[in-house]
């Protein structure tokens, strides 16, 4: 057996191909067939949202959110710079201006204490990103949004099966987006979902997703023909993707529990290294039930991250870092602006290392990761 430890290994429940074959035999390959309906029902039940709509990615769900909120050129959207490009790009596509606010030192989530000072007359929405499946401080963010008449779009790409004060991530803002990309906990290769929690937006969300038409209502027999109603695009995945996803959603608790056990193992094994001052482990606030989407460590300021990653790699361990903060990227400089200082964003993004985490990772493999990491940090 190879000694290599991959960074990610997509987990298969074993039912994926069976369900795809079933979808194929039913001759329903385009979107919104029986498997899509099962996924929608599951998401609505589990996330407790008003309406769930599968999309072909979380990126697509965020783009739908920008359309639904009628974002216009010059409208401002408050978000962290420490996030994936799609959080910002979805709004920039509509001419919106991302306004980057620093992140919290503990969770690496949008620092809610800095949001209010970023608000201007052009602000339309706040996009909290639940980093690593750990919730942002949503009560504070919701009350700021309410006070200033802003919408909240949760970027819950990493948040499936996680919660805040008992409320599932994705059920809290007016809109939310999940990702089922192969790097996530629950996967369909590429995939995502838009969760709609404001009933007033539900019908338009369906229309935007179906090329700007009322085709969904036509299929339900509510109208006798479907026509072009407003701006939209094709955001729905094929039934084959939904069939694959259904095999994963059915097993979502087992997958999450397995990942949580692996996360806890890392947390225990790495405690002595934290005590020694060699790294900092993730911090999960009491109000947050996370989903073990990732295990990361923060290296001390004077550590050489390249060297650490290099030593892990030369021992067959694949480890990565992210994100290059968006405000420092070419497109970020062109399309967005900064509110205040982004010191935590810059410092943490330079010190973060993500460790291999996937359902099925063995404790011996985790111990090997910790041993090599300690070796690298002790120099």
Q: Of these, 157, 245, 352, 361, which contacts ligand PLP (CB under 6 A)? A: 157
Q: Of these, 81, 179, 185, 256, which contacts ligand PLP (CB under 6 A)? A: 179
Task: From 354, 163, 359, 185, select the one nearest 261 (Cα to Cα).
Answer: 359
User: Does 241 interact with ligand PLP (rule: CB under 6 A)?
Assistant: no
The site string for ligand PLP over 73-102 (x = CB under 6 A, - otherwise) reads ----------xx-xx---------------
Task: Give a three-class secondary structure readout of 118-172.
Answer: HCCCCEEEECCECHHHCCCCHHHHHHHHHHHCCEEEEECCCCCCCEECCEECCCC
| Closer residue to ligand PLP in complex, CB, 132/270 | 132
Rg (CA), the chain: 21
Q: Is there a contact between 9 and 360 (Cβ–Cβ < 8 Å)? A: yes
Q: Which stretch binds ligand PLP (CB under 6 A): 52-60, 93-101, 135-143, 329-337?
A: 52-60
Sign of CA dihedral 93, 97, 102, 107: negative
User: Does 155 interact with ligand PLP (rule: CB under 6 A)?
Assistant: yes
Angstrom distance (rounded) from CA 242 to CA 259: 23
Task: Report the chain's terminal Cα–Cα distance, integer Å.
Answer: 29
User: Does 176 interact with ligand PLP (rule: CB under 6 A)?
Assistant: no
User: Does 158 interact with ligand PLP (rule: CB under 6 A)?
Assistant: yes
Q: Of these, 128, 133, 170, 192, which contacts ligand PLP (CB under 6 A)? A: 192
User: Does 349 interact with ligand PLP (rule: CB under 6 A)?
Assistant: no
Q: Least distance from C-beta 190 to ligand PLP, angstroms?
A: 6
User: Does 63 interact with ligand PLP (rule: CB under 6 A)?
Assistant: no
Q: Least distance from C-beta 155 to ligand PLP, angstroms?
A: 5
Task: From 95, 100, 99, 51, select the one nearest 70 (Cα to Cα).
Answer: 95
User: Does 59 interact with ligand PLP (rule: CB under 6 A)?
Assistant: yes
The 10 Å CB-count burial string (b at 16+, else e) for 195-211 is bbbbeebeebbbbbbbb
| Chain residues that interact with ligand PLP, rule: CB under 6 A | 57-59, 83-84, 86-87, 129, 155, 157-158, 179, 181, 192
């Amino acid at each position: 057996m190879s000694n290599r430890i991959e960074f990610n290994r997509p987990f298969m429940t074993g039912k994926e191909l069976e369900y795809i074959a079933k979808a194929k035999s039913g001759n329903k390959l385009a979107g919104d067939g029986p498997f899509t309906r099962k996924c929608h029902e599951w998401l609505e039940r589990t996330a407790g949202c008003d309406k769930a709509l599968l999309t072909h990615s979380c990126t697509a769900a965020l783009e739908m959110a920008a359309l639904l909120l009628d974002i216009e050129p010059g409208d401002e959207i408050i978000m962290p710079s420490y996030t994936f490009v799609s959080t910002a790009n979805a709004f920039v596509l509509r001419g919106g201006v991302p306004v980057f606010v620093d992140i919290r030192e503990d969770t690496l989530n949008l620092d809610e204490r800095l949001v209010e000072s970023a608000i201007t007359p052009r602000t339309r929405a706040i996009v909290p990103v639940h980093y690593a499946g750990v919730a942002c401080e949503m009560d504070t963010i919701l009350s700021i949004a309410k006070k200033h008449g802003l919408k909240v779009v949760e970027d819950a790409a990493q948040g499936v099966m996680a919660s805040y004060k008992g409320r599932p991530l994705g059920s809290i803002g007016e809109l939310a987006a999940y990702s089922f990309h192969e790097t996530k906990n629950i996967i369909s290769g590429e995939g995502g979902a838009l969760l709609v929690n404001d009933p007033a937006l539900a019908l338009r969300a369906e229309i935007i997703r179906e090329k700007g038409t009322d085709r969904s209502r036509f299929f339900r027999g509510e109208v006798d023909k479907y026509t072009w109603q407003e701006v939209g695009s094709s955001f729905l995945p094929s039934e084959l993707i939904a069939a694959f996803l259904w095999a994963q959603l059915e097993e979502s608790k087992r997958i999450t529990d397995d990942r949580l056990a692996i996360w806890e193992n890392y947390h225990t094994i790495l405690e002595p290294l934290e005590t020694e001052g060699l790294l900092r482990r993730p911090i999960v606030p009491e109000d947050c039930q996370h989903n073990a989407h990732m295990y990361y460590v923060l290296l001390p300021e004077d550590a050489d991250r390249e060297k650490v990653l290099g030593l892990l790699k030369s021992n067959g361990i694949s480890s990565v870092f992210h994100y290059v903060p968006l405000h420092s990227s070419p497109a970020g400089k062109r399309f967005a602006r900064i509110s205040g200082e982004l010191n935590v964003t810059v410092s943490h993004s330079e010190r973060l290392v993500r460790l291999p985490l996937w359902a099925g990772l063995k404790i011996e493999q985790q111990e090997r990761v910790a041993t090599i990491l300690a070796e690298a940090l002790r120099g």
